[in-house]
């Protein structure tokens, strides 16, 4: 159910993600979050980067259709590992299995953001982050999953928390992109839209 506050707030985050809301709050702009209810299923043969951009735009457009005259920000993240999409583990066993597979390997994250502005075209940006895991022992993996169960995070880790200890390197232009919302790009998109910024 849309929030009535959204009627007077110029910026809407088209997301139900607490991580994205926490990130956007760093910019100290007034906003409300509203879930888009968009189907996130990939299309046959769809490339990860294309999927992330399509879903970010779809989420922003879905909420903008309900909230005409507002700036709406949509975002989506797609992780890939070993040539396939990597989902959220959802259970302890699946988290352990993901981390065991990723030990000493590389995971790629594509985080897209799209901004729908009143009476203007949609603008978007794609952030790519490469995460390299160091070799992990079974004991390290289980200790991490017990300490910080990242069951709602693709790759089963949180780089902003204890999960950083599992990694050998992160290659990115924007560290917030890996968490779920690339704030450097978001600030640029909002500036282009004429939103007042700190």
User: Which residues form the catalytic set?
Assistant: 76
At 136, is the secondary structure helix, strand, or coil? coil
Q: Cα–Cα distance between 70 and 198 in angstroms, integer? A: 19
Q: What are the C-alpha distances in Å from 131 to residues 31, 105, 128, 170? A: 31, 8, 10, 5
> HSE (CB half, 13 Å, CA atoms) of 81?
21
Question: Rounded CA gap, 100 and 106, in Å?
Answer: 12
198 CB-near residues (< 8 Å, 6+ apart): 27, 28, 29
């Amino acid at each position: 159910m849309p929030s009535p506050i959204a009627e007077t707030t110029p910026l809407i985050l088209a997301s139900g993600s607490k991580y994205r809301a926490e990130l956007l709050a760093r910019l100290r702009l007034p906003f409300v979050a509203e879930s888009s209810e968009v189907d996130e299923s990939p299309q046959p043969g769809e490339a990860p980067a294309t999927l992330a951009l399509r879903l970010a735009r779809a989420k922003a457009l879905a909420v903008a259709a309900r909230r005409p005259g507002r700036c709406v920000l949509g975002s989506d993240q797609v992780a890939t590992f070993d040539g396939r999409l990597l989902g959220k583990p959802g259970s302890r066993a699946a988290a352990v299995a993901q981390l065991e597979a990723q030990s000493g390997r590389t995971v790629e994250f594509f985080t897209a953001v799209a901004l729908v502005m009143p009476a203007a075209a949609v603008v978007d940006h794609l952030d790519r982050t490469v995460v390299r895991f160091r070799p992990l022992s079974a004991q390290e993996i289980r200790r991490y999953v017990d300490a910080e169960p990242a069951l709602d995070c693709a790759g089963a880790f949180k780089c902003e928390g204890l999960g950083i200890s599992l990694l050998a390197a992160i290659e990115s232009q924007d560290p917030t992109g890996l968490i779920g919302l690339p704030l450097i790009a978001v600030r640029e998109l909002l500036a282009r839209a004429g939103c007042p910024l700190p």
